[in-house]
C-alpha cells in the first residue's frame, strides 16, 4: 500500500506559539482527546518533582489520624527547582534509607496550647539544611 495516497491533510500537527527554557505554549491539532491526554500524561511524568513520601510523627494528640495527616502532607506541592541535583533513592550509594544526597528533610513543630482551634499551614514546614535552600519549600502557603 502506498502511504502517499493516504495523505488526507489531517495529520497531527504541533504549532509552537512560544517557548523558553521553562515554559512552552503550543497548539496540538488534528488529534483526538485520548491522544492529547496521553501526551499530557507523558509530559507530566517527565517533569522531575519531589513529594513528601515518608512521614514520621513523634506525637499526635489531634483528632486526626496519623495516616490522614501523612496523606495531607503528601498533597502539598513542593518547590522542585534544581531537583536534578538530588540522586534518586535507587542510585544513592551513600545510604541505606535516606540521606542528604537523595532526600530533603522537612520538619513541622506545631502545638496548640489553648482551647481554640489551631490552623497549621504549609508555610509552617521548615526545610532542613540541604544543598539547595529552595528545594522542598512548599509552593503554596
How is 63-100 classified by DSSP, letter by letter? SS-HHHHHHHHHTS-B--TTGGGSPPTTT--S-SS--T
The whole model's pTM is what?
0.69
For residue 102, count other CB atoms closer than 10 A to its CB: 17
Same domain, 119 and 71: yes
Same domain, 90 and 127: yes
Residues 6+ apart with CB under 8 A from 36: 28
Estimate to the nearest angstrom the gap between the alpha carbon of 76 and the chain centroid: 8
Same domain, 86 and 26: no
Q: What is the pLDDT of residues 57-94, one digit of tens each?
A: 999 988 899 999 999 999 999 988 888 888 887 888 87
CATH number (domain holding residue 59): 2.170.120.12
Q: What is the pLDDT of residues 115-125, one digit of tens each?
A: 898 899 999 99
Same domain, 85 and 31: no
Domain count, the chain: 2
Same domain, 32 and 61: no
CA distance linking residue 32 with residue 16, whole number of Å = 18
Query: In terms of residue numbers, what domain contains 114?
Result: 55-141
Same domain, 78 and 127: yes
Same domain, 123 and 65: yes
- Which grid cell is 127? 526545610
Amino acid at each position: 500500500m502506498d502511504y502517499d495516497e493516504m495523505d488526507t491533510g489531517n495529520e497531527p500537527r504541533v504549532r509552537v506559539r512560544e517557548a523558553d527554557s521553562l515554559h512552552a505554549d503550543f497548539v496540538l491539532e488534528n488529534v483526538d482527546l485520548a491522544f492529547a491526554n496521553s501526551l499530557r500524561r507523558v509530559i507530566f511524568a517527565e517533569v522531575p518533582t519531589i513529594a513528601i513520601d515518608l512521614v514520621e510523627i513523634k506525637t499526635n494528640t489531634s483528632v486526626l489520624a496519623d495516616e490522614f495527616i501523612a496523606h495531607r502532607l503528601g498533597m502539598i506541592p513542593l518547590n522542585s527547582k534544581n531537583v536534578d541535583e538530588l540522586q534518586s533513592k535507587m542510585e544513592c550509594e551513600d545510604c541505606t534509607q535516606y540521606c542528604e544526597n537523595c532526600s530533603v528533610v522537612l520538619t513541622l513543630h506545631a502545638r496548640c496550647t489553648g482551647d481554640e482551634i489551631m490552623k497549621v499551614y504549609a508555610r509552617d514546614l521548615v526545610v532542613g539544611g540541604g544543598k539547595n535552600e529552595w528545594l522542598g519549600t512548599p509552593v503554596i502557603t
